[in-house]
Structure 1
Amino acid sequence: MTSQPDALASAPPRKRWGVATVSVLVAAVVAAGCGFAGFLSQLRGTESRPSRTADGIVVLTGGSSRVSDAMELLAGGYGKRLLISGVHPLSGASDISRSLPDNQSLLNCCVDLDRSAVNTRSNAAETRRWAHERGFKSLIVVTSNYHMPRAIVELSHAMPDITLIPFAVVGDKWREEPWWSNSATLRLVLSEYVKYVAAEVRVRLADIGLDVMREANDSLPPAAPRPPATAQANSAN
């Protein structure tokens, strides 16, 4: 009787290529599914206060209530200063002041605005400059729960010498219904997962000297190799 491997080896080349293609596709689907499950495991469904204080706080703009939550942490003494990264170039302190009238004194004394960042990677570059200028060794990172995994990837790659403490902001839609039951939220999560994977691939290539997407505003030397972002984020809590 002819064994299955022998039968496959004796099959026409087109059939062998077909089997190999199907095998690769199945492996890719399994890997993507496992990766997505790992990504979802990092998304917190409830907000919880940081377990410790830090030298500073950084909030990445783009989601509802991120800035107000960061201001509450600053008011609660969780950090000495707050960086709001990704502020629109045309927005001023007065615009933020009007949206946060109860925190006027903190805005005047302890808040810095970054208007240069346009994406998560440049958020990380500007945060690194800000933290290094002030000698900060630890930061509380405030952003939406779905954005936190990618933010930690970019920030930990840019600042391997700084301890990052995640504070994930959970939106109302996320609280009210499962993310998969709302088409807009589902698209958001899937899109963020793709961006997260792209960020992981890019920083791992950069760690071995293949930074093929170096940004012009990222003028500091490449960061040293880092441990996996999820492990670093967990150890900071």
Structure 2
Amino acid sequence: MKGQDFPLSANGRPGKGNSFSQSAWRLRTVNTVKYAAIILSLLCVSFLGGFALFADHVGSLAAPKDMAAADAIIVLTGGQSRIDAALDLLKSGKGERLLISGVNPTASREALRAATGADRQLFRCCVDIDNAALDTIGNAEESAKWVEAHAYQSIILVTNNYHMPRSLLEMHRLLQKARLEPYPVVNSRLDNGGWMGKPDAIRVLLTEYTKYLAAILRGLVQPPNAKPGNLTVVDAAVAAGG
């Protein structure tokens, strides 16, 4: 009686093992997909959970009612209310000088002063302008040069509440010796979960949260690169003299 025939494999041996190999390959594929799905789900849950914490933190930020005085004030452009708040702090003596960082190069000092309604004498004596910064990283780099040039030890940082976490992160990397005091500007109340019912607020917060995470990752792989020299800030005294 002849034995049962089996298909031959490439090496001439019975091909029964091929079926086993295919089953093992399928099992590995299924397991890989399953583990990838689990990891992706965990990442999504972590991202959304982190976003909720971030949004709640931002929503809880508010400008101090009695801001302690510092050596100087830095405001990051991005809204009229930011500059107005910074000028109010300067006018009330909370800082000796003010740096407005990230001003459009096409905007003149006088146009900026007129737009804010600031006192001309105060603007001439105590307000410096940075036209070089194009983003938050640039804000931090130019601000660090300005702080180093004036040897300031304490800074009031003015920006919107949603922008404050990333701004502080970038500033702290380059201003490790200076004390930073946040002054968050609130245009829309987001506390007590108020951001949940505002689609526009969710969009802004989600965008800022993503940028914040990217800034953290960039900081892990890229050392700070700001150099104390090559100050590009337009000094108020120089501008006034011109």
* Aligned positions of 1:18-29 closer than 5 A: 18-29=33-44
35, 51, 56: which is aligned to 1:36?
A: 51
Q: 1:108: which partner in 2? A: 124
Quote the offset at 1:131 in angstroms.
0.4
Quote the offset at 1:53 in angstroms.
1.5
Q: 2:153: which partner in 1? A: 137
Q: Within 2, Cα distance between the matches of 1:155 and 1:134?
A: 16
Asked if 1:193 is matched to 2:209, the reply is: yes
Structure 1 residues 220 and 107: alpha-carbon distance in aligned structure 2, compared to 1, 3 A threshold: closer
3-state SS of the aligned residue for 2:83? helix
Asked if 1:48 is matched to 2:64, the reply is: yes
**Identity of matched residues, %:** 33
Structure 1 residues 46 and 159: alpha-carbon distance in aligned structure 2, compared to 1, 3 A threshold: closer
3-state SS of the aligned residue for 1:122? helix
Check whether the contact 1:142–1:168 (CA below 8 A) recurs between aligned residues.
Answer: yes
Structure 1 residues 15 and 39: alpha-carbon distance in aligned structure 2, compared to 1, 3 A threshold: same
* Aligned positions of 1:155-174 closer than 5 A: 155-172=171-188
Q: Within 2, Cα distance between the matches of 1:50 and 1:85?
A: 24
Q: Output the aligned Cα RMSD.
A: 2.4
Q: Within 1, Cα distance between the matches of 2:118 and 2:146?
A: 25
107, 112, 119: which is aligned to 2:135?
A: 119
Structure label with greater radius of gyration: 2
Give the TM-score of the pair, scaled to structure 2: 0.76
Quote the offset at 1:138 in angstroms.
1.1
- AA aligned to 1:158 is L
3-state SS of the aligned residue for 2:128? strand
Quote the offset at 1:11 in angstroms.
8.2
Give the TM-score of the pair, scaled to structure 1: 0.78
3-state SS of the aligned residue for 2:100? strand
Q: 1:60: which partner in 2? A: 76
3-state SS of the aligned residue for 1:62? coil
Quote the offset at 1:10 in angstroms.
11
